[in-house]
Chains A and B, each alone.
Chain A
Amino acid sequence: MIDLRQQDDLRDLRPRFQLIVLVVLIVFGGLIGRLCQLQVLEGDHYARRAERNFVDVVDVEAPRGRIFDVKGRPLATNRPAYTLYFTAWTRFVVDPEEGLIATTEGERTPIDDASRDSILSLLDYVDSADRADVAELVDGLRGDESRGRYAQILRRNLSWDEYARIQARISDLDPWLEIRESSRRYYPEGELTGFVSGHMGNIAREVLERSDHLSYRPGDRVGQTGVERQWENYLRGRLGARSRVVDARRHEVATPPAEAQAALPPDRDPIPGQDIHLTLDLDLQRVAHEALARKLAGAVVALDADSGRVLAMVSVPGVDPNRYEQPIPAELWREWSESPLKPFIDKTVQEHFFPGSTYKVVSALAALSDPEFDPDHTIDCAGSVVYGGRRFKDTHVHGSVDLEQAIAQSCNTYFFDLAMRSTLTLERVEPIARALGLGERSGLGLNGEVKGTIPTEEFEAREGTYQGGVRLNSAIGQGNVKVTVMQLAVLYAAIANGGYVLTPYLVDRIETNEGKLVLRTEPQRRTAVPVIDPADRERIHRGLVGVINDERGTAYSERLRNIVVAGKTGTAQVGRETERPANAAAKIVGWDTTQDHAWFAAYAPADDPSIVVVAVVEHGGTGADAAAPIVMKVVEQYLGSTSSETGTRPRGFGVPPPLPGRDEPSDAAATGPALPGQRPGARARDGKGEAR
């Protein structure tokens, strides 16, 4: 046992103790000094950095401007929706023992396989391609830290099922997922106004690259077609910003520390998009659509004859624009794009057709511009003519016809004769046709209009020599004459209003969210003076009245009881040209490509025209049978509601359209909210209907 009391030992340790004390003091002094440096001298700097940690500024979507019809009924509005955001790289991992934990050194790691799979299993998919797309997006973000560290939109417009499923699992998947409130576009009328309103879609990469000054961001929704696209810049509004306190997962903190809340920068309110009020009348649109709905493919345009306001604009078949707010199954998409009915094409402006006999008014006007032409001279229609060794047929033998009767009875032979006698050369017709707005875009600006074609001799000679027979075909709207429905409507409006070619317009006015007027469209005539001589106009007009009101007229059977309508049928022969052995699978019942396109163009009332309606039914047969009834229904609806007290009442807001085959509810049964103070069908210009 060693004696523990060797007290002398320690004296030589004294200097070392003093040394240690010195060292300890210096080291602690150093620590305190460093603490002072960080907290007192550089405290503000670190306080800013701490703020940068928890302050998160998120964009606030501006509510998109709404689209209303002429009476203020909505065509496009916004609805609240939930959007799922996904962050692939977080500072959290799933530990096999402890579950979800922060990474050891706070580093970011990509989401693990199991969590990825359970996230993918939370969503509903329309088909396997949809699922593959989402999986590809997730995996792309997993493989790319620079993008994956930020919350990216994984899914828009979550269904309630999806929402509930995600909420149930959010505790396990919290670091990666976040649901934010947003809004989705909603089109109450669906397919009825699909081509007018257009639809939304994700911004394309090229557009994004071109648009830096418009500050679009990847994943933004932009108008793809229709008014949504044409007026995108007005509808869009300006992004706002909202700052919030987030935690390390970058999720908003419900009850942040008061100091953190106080450090937030002020919010910037979004500027809502501007509301667009259209000239379109939903009642008329609905009538036109219902009338056309029994046909497979076709289009109707109704214009105000004096101003060029578009009153109705329908093309069938179409796609409900609401469909674009959700993923579309690839199979359905393929079906649509391969359909011979072309549901993506707005047949009012995006497709041109042979105008057929509706073009005869142009031929007639061209003939009248020839001083040597005598419109009262009659010719004898024998049912066909022979020119250049070919036989040009008429529908039947019309007998003796002058210009008016040739229009009323739609006699081809009369116009063949003019063409053969060089009254109707292409040189003479072409400038007249152009002056009437054919061969040029109408200026509506919607949905990528096509120009149509008005042939010249030069044009006809493009493939070898010019054949004189083309003149004959062109005179009756065949050959290479092609027009859009909208162009034809403008043309007939010009005849109706005394010769003014109008620029049709769909947007009546644009207002800010608070109702301040931003822009109002004024009717625009293309020329200051009429392009049609009043005497010529009168002659053609009499012919057009005869079409419906003369017993020999082609559309006499379609006349209305109390409204005098002037119009022209057209039966454009396309059957043989487009007949091809359709494959059995794509066969559509009732779609007979050997049938002709049926046209009807009309204006009414004949003595003081206010509306012009043009309808085309693809492969519908004859104009009088297929297209005229449609036009008549629209005319009846419009004039019945504006000029006749006993006529059909406009349908009140929210009242469903009658079932096919039934008439409008009678006055007694009408439960529609006939608003006090609002005359039924008054062409409301206030536009502040019940929808506001």
Chain B
Amino acid sequence: MRSSLDRPDDLVSRIRRSIDWVVVVMTFSVIALALVNLNSAGRGDWTGRVATQLRWVGLGTLAMFVVTAVDYKVIYRGAYAAYAFGVGLLALVPIFGVKVKNARRWLGTDDWRLQPSELMKILVVLALARYLHDSSAKGLRGLRGLMVPAAMAILPMALVVYQPDLSTGIMIGIIAVSMLAITGLTLRSMLVLLSVAVMAFALGWSYMLNYQRKRIDVWLDPELYADKEGYQTIQAMISVGNGGFFGRGVDSGTQNVLGFLPEPFTDFPFAVYAEEWGFVGGAMLLTLYLCLVLWAINIASQARDRFGALCCVGVASMFFWHVTINIGMVLQLLPVSGITLPFISAGGSNVLTTMLALGVLMSISRSRHAR
């Protein structure tokens, strides 16, 4: 790396330098694939969902670069306020929310609506990062130190699960736990946390709604429910397998084109993608995600402080879990849930949140050591 002394100092160069091109290139590569894939899932329709997604990508890009331009110290200062703002929005949802299919998750109009629970993911990351940064400075590393961060995660979780949106709620929880696991939690605390989680699951199983329990049954043996609950899972697997090594080609996957694949826009777009792009394309997309996650961890490891590192870890875990759970579901490694695939799934709030998160990443990247 060249010394800063050699660098030209005009505005364009400064902007160019302050942008993390790795993030930008990988992000827009995924976005490009996502738009092509959404077009496929919509049977060649460039106007409907693709256009909507594109609008949100535009908004997200703006947000991403604005956040990048902000020094992350400002982010640090505003973390709690943003968190409170997000919780406030969440609290408004049951009152003013738009109801779609029995769930009230959105604010706004039918055309432009925002899902505060999505936004909450990145806000929880910021707030937790700040709290853990502060608390580690005070030397709190034991279980008692978990009380406040647990509360910070559980409050929005409860609001989200109430909507009801169990998947996003659990996602917030998983991201929070991932962040806690990175910061100085002792091994003992983590074991305790793990056993609590197992007990909670065992307890939760008996309280789980029937359809949720059914999902697990279906996941264990989808062929048994091939015509009902297992239909989705099986059709998704067939789509993926039908892709073969090189894929069927864009717009030529029979599973998608002939409508055998349910939910090709939100839950199972990866199946559409895998059918059309094959193993080559699938592995490529996974590698792009992998690089983003690893790059985020790399930035974390080079961050100037704990807050920056934790933010990066939060963003990385957000990506990691979304990708793992969604693709794991499509590949039938995990039960069906509503977790989306960043960018590839149609969903404005998700795009905006993801790009905000990447903005945070780039902002931290600006001030990391290695530059």
Query: Which residues of chain A have a CB within 8 Å of any CB of chain B?
Result: 2, 4-7, 9-10, 12-14, 16-17, 20-21, 24-25, 27-28, 30-32, 34-36, 38-40, 42-47, 49-51, 53-54, 91, 95, 97, 102-108, 149, 245-249, 253, 256-260
Distance A313 CA – B315 CA, assembled complex (angstroms): 92
Minimum CB distance partner of A43 in chain B: B244
Q: B24 in the interface, Cβ–Cβ < 8 Å?
A: no
User: Do A91 and B242 touch (CB < 8 A)?
Assistant: no
User: Do A106 and B235 touch (CB < 8 A)?
Assistant: yes
Interface residue from B286, B297, B327 paired with A20 (Cβ < 8 Å): B297
**Inter-chain contacts of A53 with B (CB < 8 A):** 235, 238, 254-255, 258, 260
**Inter-chain contacts of B260 with A (CB < 8 A):** 50, 53-54, 247-248
Interface residue from A16, A20, A49, A107 paired with B238 (Cβ < 8 Å): A49
Minimum CB distance partner of B183 in chain A: A13
CB distance from B168 to the nearest CB of A (A): 17
Q: B293 in the interface, Cβ–Cβ < 8 Å?
A: yes
**Inter-chain contacts of B255 with A (CB < 8 A):** 50, 53
Interface residues in B247-273 by Cβ distance below 8 A to A read 248, 251-252, 254-255, 257-260, 262-263
Distance A259 CA – B232 CA, assembled complex (angstroms): 23
Chain B residues touching A, range: 35 or more
User: Do A40 and B279 touch (CB < 8 A)?
Assistant: yes
CB distance from A326 to the nearest CB of B (A): 36
19 contacts between A and B (CB under 8 A): A4-B76, A6-B306, A7-B369, A12-B184, A13-B183, A13-B300, A16-B181, A30-B333, A31-B286, A31-B324, A34-B331, A35-B240, A38-B237, A39-B279, A43-B244, A44-B244, A50-B239, A102-B262, A107-B231
Question: Assuming the A-B contacts A4-B305, A6-B305, A35-B282, are A46 and B184 also in contact, with contact meaning beta carbons closer than 8 angstroms in the complex?
Answer: no
CB distance from A137 to the nearest CB of B (A): 23
Query: Which residues of chain B have a CB within 8 Å of any CB of chain A?
Result: 73, 76, 100-101, 133-134, 136-137, 181-184, 227-229, 231-232, 235, 237-245, 248, 251-252, 254-255, 257-260, 262-263, 274, 278-279, 282-283, 286, 289-290, 293-294, 297, 300-301, 303-309, 313, 316, 320, 323-324, 327-328, 331, 333, 336, 369
The interface centre, meaning the residue of B76, B136, B244 with most chain A CB atoms within 10 A of its CB, is: B244
**Inter-chain contacts of A149 with B (CB < 8 A):** 227
**Inter-chain contacts of A43 with B (CB < 8 A):** 241-245
Distance A36 CA – B241 CA, assembled complex (angstroms): 9
CB distance from B64 to the nearest CB of A (A): 22
Interface residue from A4, A30, A39, A42 paired with B304 (Cβ < 8 Å): A4
The interface centre, meaning the residue of A12, A35, A51 with most chain B CB atoms within 10 A of its CB, is: A35
The interface centre, meaning the residue of A5, A91, A106, A245 with most chain B CB atoms within 10 A of its CB, is: A106
Distance A435 CA – B73 CA, assembled complex (angstroms): 122
Interface residue from A38, A47, A258, A259 paired with B331 (Cβ < 8 Å): A38
User: Do A54 and B258 touch (CB < 8 A)?
Assistant: yes
CB distance from A261 to the nearest CB of B (A): 10
Distance A46 CA – B283 CA, assembled complex (angstroms): 18
Question: Assuming the A-B contacts A4-B304, A39-B245, are A108 and B258 also in contact, with contact meaning beta carbons closer than 8 angstroms in the complex?
Answer: no
Distance A671 CA – B181 CA, assembled complex (angstroms): 103
The interface centre, meaning the residue of B184, B228, B328 with most chain A CB atoms within 10 A of its CB, is: B228
**Inter-chain contacts of B258 with A (CB < 8 A):** 53-54, 245-248, 253, 256-257, 260
Distance A361 CA – B265 CA, assembled complex (angstroms): 90
Distance A253 CA – B259 CA, assembled complex (angstroms): 11
User: Do A107 and B229 touch (CB < 8 A)?
Assistant: yes
Tally of A-B residue pairs with Cβ under 8 A? Answer: 184
Given contacts A2-B133, A103-B262, 8 further A-B contacts (CB under 8 A): A5-B304, A16-B182, A24-B290, A38-B331, A40-B279, A50-B238, A91-B231, A149-B227
**Inter-chain contacts of A91 with B (CB < 8 A):** 231, 262
**Inter-chain contacts of B307 with A (CB < 8 A):** 4
Distance A21 CA – B296 CA, assembled complex (angstroms): 10
Question: Assuming the A-B contacts A34-B333, A107-B227, are A39 and B274 also in contact, with contact meaning beta carbons closer than 8 angstroms in the complex?
Answer: yes
Distance A6 CA – B307 CA, assembled complex (angstroms): 10
**Inter-chain contacts of B181 with A (CB < 8 A):** 16
User: Do A260 and B254 touch (CB < 8 A)?
Assistant: yes
User: Do B324 and A27 touch (CB < 8 A)?
Assistant: yes
**Inter-chain contacts of A30 with B (CB < 8 A):** 333
Minimum CB distance partner of A4 in chain B: B305
Interface residue from A4, A6, A28, A54 paired with B254 (Cβ < 8 Å): A54
Minimum CB distance partner of A42 in chain B: B241
Distance A27 CA – B325 CA, assembled complex (angstroms): 11
Distance A15 CA – B300 CA, assembled complex (angstroms): 13
Question: Assuming the A-B contacts A54-B254, A105-B262, A257-B257, are A9 and B305 also in contact, with contact meaning beta carbons closer than 8 angstroms in the complex?
Answer: yes
CB distance from B225 to the nearest CB of A (A): 9
Distance A14 CA – B255 CA, assembled complex (angstroms): 45
User: Do B241 and A247 touch (CB < 8 A)?
Assistant: no
User: Do B259 and A249 touch (CB < 8 A)?
Assistant: yes
User: Do B248 and A259 touch (CB < 8 A)?
Assistant: yes
CB distance from B234 to the nearest CB of A (A): 8
Distance A13 CA – B252 CA, assembled complex (angstroms): 48
Interface residue from A14, A44, A105, A245 paired with B229 (Cβ < 8 Å): A105
User: Do A39 and B240 touch (CB < 8 A)?
Assistant: yes
